[in-house]
Amino acid sequence: MDTIQDFRTEYFPNAEDKDWNNWHWQIQNRIADADKTAEVFALTPETKEAFADGVKIPFAVTPYYAAACKGTPLEKTILPSPKENITNKLEVADPLGEEPCFAAPNLVHRYNDRALFLVTNFCPSYCRYCTRGRRAGREDMTVNDWEPALKYIATHPEIRDVLISGGEPLILSDEKLDALLSRLRAIPHVEIIRIGTKVPVSLPMRITPELIQILKKHNPVFLSVHINRAEEITAEVSKAFNDLADNGILLGSQTVLLNGVNDDADTLLTLMHKLLKNRVKPYYLFQCDPIAGSGHFRVPLRKGIAIMDELRRRTSGYAIPTYAIDIPNRFGKIAVLPNHIQECANGVVKILNFDGNVYEYPDAE
Ligand code: SF4
């Protein structure tokens, strides 16, 4: 199967253009059970076993995103595996330790000048390695549930940067999103609003002219777009990125390093270059958080560092994301860097270059 159009013709033959290109239709027609999944994907015995056992993280995928992932390693990120039932060393349901330390309901205030505001638990498609798999797809909140968090932000002048996340914030209706952004913009000390989202990739038809006008109205708004492979940048996604960029919405990417999905330099280089061509700055490459049952996704840290080293050797800085791990239990995000400094002494630094040679560089004493 070559294209999204072929997929649509084969599995959703009754969908007209006005349906397929409507984000509500996409959500209403999600693939969310074993039978429809088996019709659309060539299920392995493992995936069948996972469905038979009952999935722990909710399962659903929009028809559009199923078409984009089908036949690529991205299938692993959306289809359940029985390995999700294996909890490895140091894996827990809430690896970042968010739940016990909400500053207000649904609000994490871990870094002094920033706050993370969770506004929904719903996603159009669910990722099998979701850091918030404990919440994703569970009972959703209402706009009234946002009030304590909004009050907290308004009374903490040190918060200059609010990251709206979930779940999937761009799944809120235009009216709710506009109201939320208006409330935040009315707080004088909130300078920057960021939105963590996978929607431009998993549901590009949600990036409507109306949505773009709402985001533009509340600029500066940064979208941190969750994306793992270049195949996700289809013609539809490319249009969504460019429509957003044309309207001054700042775009950065967040990629999760995943075993068997994107854990090699060629794959990541192709992704980063395609992002840049579509006006998205590669921002973060995350080590997969140790949620319970995610061991089959985790890439050894040494391998991640070696991949980053190779990326630096092969492309320019604009195409390089920051490789980062979030230390469990609220101890913060840190950049993981290869150590090229071998020694600093007597006004000379000994530096290992990418070819494995050591050179001397003058240091201030
Ligand atoms: S889109 Fe984000 S919040 Fe939703 S399931 Fe994937 S990782 Fe989790």
Is the C-beta atom of 128 inside 6 A of ligand 1?
no
The protein residue whose alpha carbon is closest to atom 6 in ligand 1 is 127
- List the one residue out of 246, 204, 193, 200 whose CA is nearest residue 227: 200
Is the C-beta atom of 134 inside 6 A of ligand 1?
no
Q: Is the peptide bond before 167 cis (omega within 30 degrees of 0)?
A: yes
Is the C-beta atom of 132 inside 6 A of ligand 1?
yes
Structure tokens at 143: 């706009």
Edge-to-edge strand ranges of the sheet holding 161-165: 102-104, 107-108, 114-118, 161-165, 192-197, 221-226, 250-257, 281-287, 322-327, 332-335
Q: What are phi and psi of 43, to 5 degrees?
A: -75, 135
- List the one residue out of 108, 5, 120 whose CA is nearest residue 64: 5
Is the C-beta atom of 167 inside 6 A of ligand 1?
yes
Question: Cβ-count burial of 52 within 10 angstroms (0-12 exposed, 13-18 middle, 19+ buried)?
Answer: exposed
Structure tokens at 158: 């040190």
**CA-based angle 179:144:117, to the nearest 5?**
70
Q: For residue 166, which atom of ligand 1 is closest to its CA?
A: 3
* Distance in angstroms (rounded) separating the CA atoms of residues 303 and 284: 17
Q: How far is the CA of 50 from the centre of ligand 1 (A)?
A: 19
Is the C-beta atom of 129 inside 6 A of ligand 1?
no
- List the one residue out of 304, 219, 295 whose CA is nearest residue 265: 304
**Domains of the chain by start residue, with CATH:** 83-330 (3.20.20.70), 337-365 (no CATH)
Q: How far is the CA of 136 from the centre of ligand 1 (A)?
A: 7
* Distance in angstroms (rounded) separating the CA atoms of residues 99 and 118: 11
Best substitution site from 126, 202, 223, 326 to test ligand 1's pocket, by max atoms within 8 Å of Cβ? 126
3-state helix, strand and coil shares in percent for the chain, rounded to the nearest 5: 40, 20, 40
Residues 130 and 176 sit within 8 Å (Cβ to Cβ): no
* Distance in angstroms (rounded) separating the CA atoms of residues 325 and 79: 25
Q: For residue 202, which atom of ligand 1 is closest to its CA?
A: 1
Is the C-beta atom of 271 inside 6 A of ligand 1?
no
Which amino acid would we find at residue 5?
A: Q
Kindly give the confidence (pLDDT) of every residue in the chain, 365 residues in length, as a single tens digit, with 9 standing for 90 and above. 558 999 999 999 999 999 999 999 999 999 999 999 999 998 899 999 998 888 888 999 999 999 999 999 999 999 999 999 999 888 888 888 888 879 999 999 988 999 999 999 999 999 999 998 888 888 888 999 999 999 999 999 999 999 999 899 999 999 999 999 999 999 999 999 999 999 999 999 999 999 999 999 999 999 999 999 999 999 999 999 999 999 999 999 999 999 999 999 999 999 999 999 999 999 999 999 999 999 999 999 999 999 999 999 999 999 999 999 988 776 778 999 888 899 999 999 999 988 889 999 999 87
DSSP single-letter state for residue 61: B
Dihedral (Cα; 316, 240, 76, 322), 10-degree rounding: 30
* Distance in angstroms (rounded) separating the CA atoms of residues 129 and 164: 20
The protein residue whose alpha carbon is closest to atom 7 in ligand 1 is 130
DSSP single-letter state for residue 187: S
Q: Which residues are identified as catalytic?
A: 110-111, 114, 123, 127, 130, 132, 289, 326, 333
Residues 277 and 242 sit within 8 Å (Cβ to Cβ): no
Which amino acid would we find at residue 316?
A: S
Q: For residue 198, which atom of ligand 1 is closest to its CA?
A: 1
